[in-house]
Amino acid sequence: MSNQTLKIWDVFIRIFHWSLVFAFAVAYFTEDDYQQIHVYSGYTILGLLTFRILWGFIGSEHAKFRSFMVKPSVAIAYLKNLKNKDSKRYVGHNPAGAMMVMALMFSLTATVILGLLVYGAEEFSGPFAFLTANVSQSMAHTLEELHEFFANFTLFLIFLHVLGVLFSSHHHKENLTASMVHGKKRSNQEKLS
Q: Which residues bind ligand HEM (CB under 6 A)?
A: 13, 16-17, 20-21, 24, 52, 93, 97, 101, 104-105, 158, 161-162, 165, 176-177, 180
Cβ distance to ligand HEM smaller for residue 21 or 139 = 21
Cβ distance to ligand HEM smaller for residue 142 or 175 = 175
**H helix or E strand, kind and range, residue 186:** strand 184-186
Cβ distance to ligand HEM smaller for residue 134 or 177 = 177
Minimal distance, residue 134 CB to ligand HEM, in Å: 32
Separation CA 100–CA 27 (nearest Å)? 21
Minimal distance, residue 33 CB to ligand HEM, in Å: 21
Separation CA 75–CA 94 (nearest Å)? 8
Minimal distance, residue 135 CB to ligand HEM, in Å: 28
Minimal distance, residue 18 CB to ligand HEM, in Å: 8
Cβ distance to ligand HEM smaller for residue 131 or 163 = 163
Contact indicator for 12, 65 with CB cutoff of 8 Å: no
Cβ distance to ligand HEM smaller for residue 105 or 143 = 105
- DSSP for 55-98, please give it: HHHHS-GGGSHHHH---HHHHHHHHHGGGSTT----SS--HHHH
For the chain, the helix, strand and coil percentages under 3-state DSSP, each to the nearest 5: 70, 5, 25
Minimal distance, residue 88 CB to ligand HEM, in Å: 13
Contact indicator for 91, 185 with CB cutoff of 8 Å: yes
